[in-house]
Amino acid sequence: MAVDCGVFVDWSQMDDVSRDAAPGKTEYKDIKELKQHARSGQWGKSHSQRSAVYQHLLKALPCRTVTPDAEVYRDIMGNSNSKRNPSAHLLPEFVDGMVVPRYCLKAESVGSVHAVISCVAGQFPDISYCPCLPAVTALLLHWSADEAQCFESVSRMLACNEPGRRLLDQTFLAYQSACMTFGDLVHKYCPAAHKLMVATATDVLEVYSDWQRWVLGDLPFSFAARVMDVFLVEGYKVLYRVALAILKFYRKQCVASGSALTKQESAAVRSDIQTFVQNIGKSVTPDKLLEKAFSIRLFSRKEITLLQLANEKSLQQKGITVKQKRQNVHLAVNADNFSSEIVGAKEIRDVWSWIPERFALCQPQLLFTTSTHGCSLNRFYSHCEGYEPTLMLIRTTDGEVCGAFLSTDWEERKRGGNKLSFFGTGECFVFRMKPEMERYEWVIIKHPELASAAQPAGDEQSGGEDNGAPLSLEKPATDPSQLSPFLSARHFNLNSRNTSMFMAGNVDSIIIGGGDGNALYIDSELNHGRTERCLTFDNPPLCAESFQIALLEVWGFRDAMAS
């Protein structure tokens, strides 16, 4: 490339990256080869090659008709690569106080980042919240010939309008729902790390709200550059993958160091994770981080988008669309507003940490208890209908405690008539609390290869692994995106061996989990029950296989009534 794209770089910090090496391959027709090169760090040794590849990728992004380009920047800001004073171009409020990472840039190049972001703010007045913009701009400046080219690259990412493709959050609603979605993914794919967070942080969701900053801001440059390679090729889902991998490595370090699991303020945990990420190179290489990230068997982009939209809807319903101090999730369940005859506030907080993020914001509300409403299945239904989701707690006469998180309104059972028909979604799970705590989720979350057995007959919903994204290489044995595992449509009249038998009820009984057994079966008098392994949750018996109920409670989620 004739143009020097390293004028902003402090080359003394760039180790073995060549500034002058002739670029290798920069244009790709084979999508599989492009993705393989991005993941393997093929462009990392040649600054000019990475610059050329980035420019081709960014130029290929479908954008809004009127997208400001380099000439717009030159008209407004001039065409200067000279030193700029950062204080002359203050960062806009929408970056929420985030500073510009140095990322091996010259000290004076920080002023150029400020200038580019200042111009972006003027050209994109609809941006209200975008804290990752300083990091993204600083990275792109590395491979830009001048500020104007960097501005155009950032503008194209912000103006991308390809259906189903998402690059940068630009509102607080989008950002916060992404944080909630990340929390949901941690629940499902990093249960050990999540357990650590629950044990150590007073507000788990506050810790997870830093996830984007870990990836775009805290990671050292050699790691951030590799993330940017795959991010530009594969999209937003990559950020989730890398953040999950970071959390897994953080937990591994905590276990190796024998850190005591003591509860502390969330700020301390956040600071500890930030320090770990900033120094991650001491224990992990960029290759190892990406290898871990892509070993996580996430559901499709389409599925994650559905979950994100559900979280956005939940925030909108609560009026949380602009930044505000979020309620500490652990304050949602405390001794003042939670009074159960089965478990205490500490135990229910642990259960609360398992439920989807959009419901963790809600206050618990006692809907039904056998000690007050009696042992009647009809009264159970009448008190629980109209609420979605619900949490069922059971204490046996032997003192064992178990239960289930049930995603769907019990009124759905009526759609099956008098026939016992299953319904619900993949967010359902069962658990036991005494003598020890353990959660059992939908089996397909950990074993997506079983999804073919759960496909409802006649379901011809279309959509590939990444919602039609042209750059997807992930080809699981089945297509779990058709199942909508987090938010699936109600399933009725499924085969008895189906792995999607979540919940069912009629006048004779209620059943949680099906296929070769029931995770929970409770009779019409809410007196006797049984528990056994079932295909849906792949759980062991949750207590004694045949048990007598001492007390049963059902809790709803205030502000989460079924629509």
Q: Are 411 and 386 in contact (CB under 8 A)?
A: yes
Cα(536)–Cα(519) distance, integer angstroms: 8
What is the predicted pLDDT for the residue at 120?
96
Long-range contacts, 193-197 (Cβ 8 Å, 24+): 193/247, 193/248, 193/250, 193/251, 194/353, 196/251, 196/254, 196/261, 197/269, 197/353
Q: What is the mean pLDDT of residues 501-530?
A: 93
Q: What is the mean pLDDT of the chain?
A: 83
For 387, residues 6+ apart whose C-beta sits below 8 A from its C-beta are: 367, 409, 556, 557, 560, 561, 562
Cα(480)–Cα(464) distance, integer angstroms: 9
Instruction: Report pLDDT digits (tens) over 265-307.
Output: 888 999 999 999 999 999 999 999 999 999 998 777 777 888 8
Instruction: Report pLDDT digits (tens) over 190-216.
Output: 989 998 998 888 888 889 999 999 999
Cα(318)–Cα(336) distance, integer angstroms: 22
Q: Are 518 and 501 in contact (CB under 8 A)?
A: no
Tokens of 255: 């276990």
- Provide the 10 A C-beta neighbour count for residue 171: 17
Is the pLDDT at 334 greater than 80? The verdict is no
Listed range (11-25, 120-134, 432-446) with the worst mean pLDDT: 11-25
What is the predicted pLDDT for the residue at 61?
94
DSSP 8-state symbol, 63: B
Long-range contacts, 237-240 (Cβ 8 Å, 24+): 237/298, 237/301, 237/304, 237/466, 238/293, 239/211, 239/212, 239/215, 240/181, 240/182, 240/185, 240/211, 240/298, 240/304
Instruction: Report pLDDT digits (tens) over 349-404.
Output: 788 888 888 887 777 889 999 999 999 999 999 999 999 899 999 999 999 999 99
Listed range (297-301, 435-439, 522-526) with the worst mean pLDDT: 297-301
Q: What is the mean pLDDT of residues 75-96?
A: 83
DSSP 8-state symbol, 507: S
What is the predicted pLDDT for the residue at 162?
86
Instruction: Report pLDDT digits (tens) over 228-260.
Output: 999 999 999 999 999 999 999 999 999 888 765
Give me the amino acid identity at 483: L
DSSP 8-state symbol, 8: T
Tokens of 34: 């492009």
Please give the angle made by the CA atoms of 403, 409 and 413, to the nearest 5 degrees: 95
- Provide the 10 A C-beta neighbour count for residue 204: 27
Q: What is the mean pLDDT of residues 345-352?
A: 80
Highest mean pLDDT among 72-86, 270-284, 424-438: 270-284
Tokens of 535: 């295909």
For the full predicted model, state whether its pTM sits above 0.85: no
Residues 171, 172, 176, 179, Cα dihedral to 10°: 60
What is the predicted pLDDT for the residue at 232?
96
